Structure 1
Amino acid sequence: MKVICAGFPKTGTKTMQVALKELGYDVYDFMENYSYLGKDWFKIFKHGGTTEDFRRMFENVDAVTDAPACYFWDEIHKAFPDAKIIFTWRDEASWTRSFCAQGAAECQPLFRIVRVLSPTYRRFNAFMRSVGRTVFGTTVQRHWFKQDTFSSLIARMSCRRHNAHILQNAPKDKLLVYNVKEGWEPLCKFLGVDVPSKPFPHKNKQGEIMEELLANDPLFIQARRECLVLVTGMAALFCYGAYKLVGYLR
């Protein structure tokens, strides 16, 4: 482990994932943490974890971004004391707007369907709820016919405590306080690498990452397939039942 991105979700974490990959780092973001380390995280959420747990989980990873790793930045740093820490931040008002926009993006009709019909997505949703309780101190209340709800106040307070903890306790000689709007220069100087010729990336505007995941991520593709199979099976059963009923009435 070389880089721990300790900034809360919605502070440019998806941008940081892309930027660090461009710089040659192997990065575990939210989806990688679920796909490869989901069982470990469920254990930590329920029973806690040790320094050795975090060392084993991330020994072959260069960098971590987003939740739940950002919340446990100090525990990960105990396992990898030479790792550098990047604290991505944004002002609270814009963070709150972005956080709420992400929640709205997850209310698309297709998401409402897959979270009910797909076993794969239900397991993933259980992970997201555990992350929500642990990191944000609140969970999303799902609704069919209106927008999902959560306590943005509780989330903001959790973000404030998290940010204060980083600024107070992260070793200053290993910490970069960074806004992704600053671009490549301060990031590359901190990491000791050359500045790429490519423009600095900007990902997940207004929660667009949810559409990308739904279209391209293997987990979401599997969830869509499960929904299609289930809906097709239900339609076939309905047609068969209607056929038998017509035959009976004749």
Structure 2
Amino acid sequence: MKVIVAGLPKTGTKSMNAALTLLGYEVYDWLENFWYLGDDWVRQIRGGFKVEDMKRMFKNVDAVMDNPCCIHWEEIFDAFPDTKVILTIRDEDNWYRSLKNQFDIVNNDVMFKLMLTITLTGCRLRRFLIEAVQVYSNSKEAWVGQGFQLRHKEAIIKLIRKHERLVKQVVPKNQLLVYEVKDGWKPLCDFLGVPVPSFPFPHKNKRDKVLDEMKKENPLMGQLVKEFKIVLACFCVALAVGGYVVVQCLNRFKFINF
């Protein structure tokens, strides 16, 4: 483990994912954490965290970010105390507005909600997402309600302040970078000790298009979409066969009675 991105979602984490990937890091975002480590995460969230489990889970991973890693960054840091930590930050009002827009998009994406409901992988993903935000739902602020609905802006702003304050208090200054993605390559590369690339810094999830981007670019999300299409196709075939059988039965009934 080389890097923990401890910033909360909507602080530029998707751009950080792209940047670290371009720099050659093996990155686990929320989808990789679900796909490869989902059962481990659910077990630890429910039963308690163990350093040896964290070391096993992330022994071949260079960088982690987003839920549940940004929530449980301290448990990961306990397992990898020499790791560098990047706290991505953003203007509070812009962050809240972007977070709210993202939640609205997810809740209004009919295809995504169906994938979470009618596919095996989707049901596992839904359980994982619910577990990942339990700390928000069960906290005194309780700012995430049923269906991933935001509740109180004041509580949300309070939470990000509390989160950022804790990161700054716990992580040694020589291992911490407080960073805004608009600052580009130089402060990031200086902190990581790598050369500054000649190509532009990536900017992802503009206007909260993360689901669309992931459906197109991420092979794991692509697999989920493929599974959804297979289930949908099987349903259509079953519906067609069932309709044919019903029509044949009705025709036979008419023939017998007339």
Whole-angstrom CA distance in 1 between matches of 2:254 and 2:215: 44
Whole-angstrom CA distance in 2 between matches of 1:181 and 1:167: 20
The answer to whether the aligner puts 1:232 opposite 2:233 as a matched pair is: no
Aligned residue in 1 for 2:9? 9
Tell me if structure 2 keeps the 8 A contact 1:117–1:230: no
SS at match of 1:207: coil
Aligned residue in 2 for 1:165? 166
What do residues 114-164 of structure 1 show as CA deviations (whole Å, max 9, x unaligned)?
23322221211111111122256554534xxxxx73325344433232122
Q: Which runs of 4+ in 1 moved over 4 A?
A: 135-140
SS at match of 2:150: coil
Match of 1:242 among 233, 240, 247: 247
SS at match of 1:77: helix
The answer to whether the aligner puts 1:198 opposite 2:203 as a matched pair is: no
In the TM superposition, what is the alpha-carbon distance from 1:104 to its structure 2 partner? 2.1
Whole-angstrom CA distance in 1 between matches of 2:212 and 2:91: 26
Whole-angstrom CA distance in 1 between matches of 2:247 and 2:216: 35
Tell me if structure 2 keeps the 8 A contact 1:129–1:140: no
Whole-angstrom CA distance in 1 between matches of 2:157 and 2:225: 29
The unaligned stretches of length 5 or more in structure 2 are none
SS at match of 2:61: coil
Would the alpha carbon gap of residues 245 and 29 (structure 1) be closer, same or farther in structure 2, given more than 3 Å must change?
same
Q: Kindly report the root-mean-square deviation, in angstroms, between the aligned alpha carbons of the 2 structures.
A: 2.0
Aligned residue in 2 for 1:37? 37
SS at match of 2:149: coil
Aligned residue in 2 for 1:145? none
What do residues 42-83 of structure 1 show as CA deviations (whole Å, max 9, x unaligned)?
011111111111111111111111111111212211211111
The unaligned stretches of length 5 or more in structure 1 are 143-147
**Range with greater deviation from structure 2 (214-223 or 167-176):** 214-223
Q: Which amino acid aligns with 1:249?
A: K
In the TM superposition, what is the alpha-carbon distance from 1:102 to its structure 2 partner? 1.2
Tell me if structure 2 keeps the 8 A contact 1:6–1:87: yes
Q: TM-score, normalised on structure 2? A: 0.87
Q: TM-score, normalised on structure 1? A: 0.90
Whole-angstrom CA distance in 2 between matches of 1:158 and 1:42: 23
Would the alpha carbon gap of residues 150 and 230 (structure 1) be closer, same or farther in structure 2, given more than 3 Å must change?
farther
Tell me if structure 2 keeps the 8 A contact 1:7–1:70: yes
SS at match of 2:85: strand
The answer to whether the aligner puts 1:221 opposite 2:222 as a matched pair is: no
Q: Which amino acid aligns with 2:247?
A: A
Aligned residue in 1 for 2:105? 105
Whole-angstrom CA distance in 1 between matches of 2:158 and 2:232: 37
Aligned residue in 1 for 2:80? 80
Identity of aligned residues (%): 40
Would the alpha carbon gap of residues 180 and 100 (structure 1) be closer, same or farther in structure 2, given more than 3 Å must change?
same
Aligned residue in 2 for 1:93? 93
Tell me if structure 2 keeps the 8 A contact 1:215–1:221: no
Aligned residue in 2 for 1:18? 18
Aligned residue in 2 for 1:116? 117
Would the alpha carbon gap of residues 116 and 79 (structure 1) be closer, same or farther in structure 2, given more than 3 Å must change?
closer
Q: Work out the number of aligned pairs and report it.
A: 245
Whole-angstrom CA distance in 1 between matches of 2:3 and 2:210: 23
Would the alpha carbon gap of residues 241 and 94 (structure 1) be closer, same or farther in structure 2, given more than 3 Å must change?
same
